[in-house]
Amino acid sequence: MYHTYILYSKQLDKYYIGACGTDVSRRLQEHLWKHSGFTSKAKDWEIKHVEDYETKELAYDRERQIKKWKSRKMIEALIRKGN
């Protein structure tokens, strides 16, 4: 199983969109502990949305689709819809 996920940092007031083939909770811990990219700027990331996919390609395609939106309103609407 593969996942597309959205994280949120209150400190930065930013969303992060990612995809993984591992448990999303475990991936969040990696972002919090030993990540050196964008998510290393804050240590308060929390999972806001998760979508499950059968293949890696589908999960990564969805990640790219959401990132292309470049719209906070659309991301927040997706989160509301999913919850």
Domains in the chain: ranges and CATH = 2-82 (3.40.1440.10)
Q: What is the pTM of this model?
A: 0.93
Over residues 33-54, the pLDDT tens digits come to 877 889 999 999 999 999 999 9
Identify which of 64, 74, 76, 68 has the alpha carbon closest to the alpha carbon of residue 13. Answer: 76
51, 3 contact by CB (below 8 A): yes
| Amino acid 36: pLDDT | 81
State which H helix or E strand residue 81 sits in.
Answer: helix 72-82
Q: How far apart are CA 20 and CA 59, in angstroms?
A: 8
Q: Which residues of the chain have pLDDT under 50?
A: none
| Amino acid 79: pLDDT | 96
Identify which of 33, 32, 29, 27 has the alpha carbon closest to the alpha carbon of residue 63. Answer: 27
Distance of CA 55 to the CA centre of its chain: 17
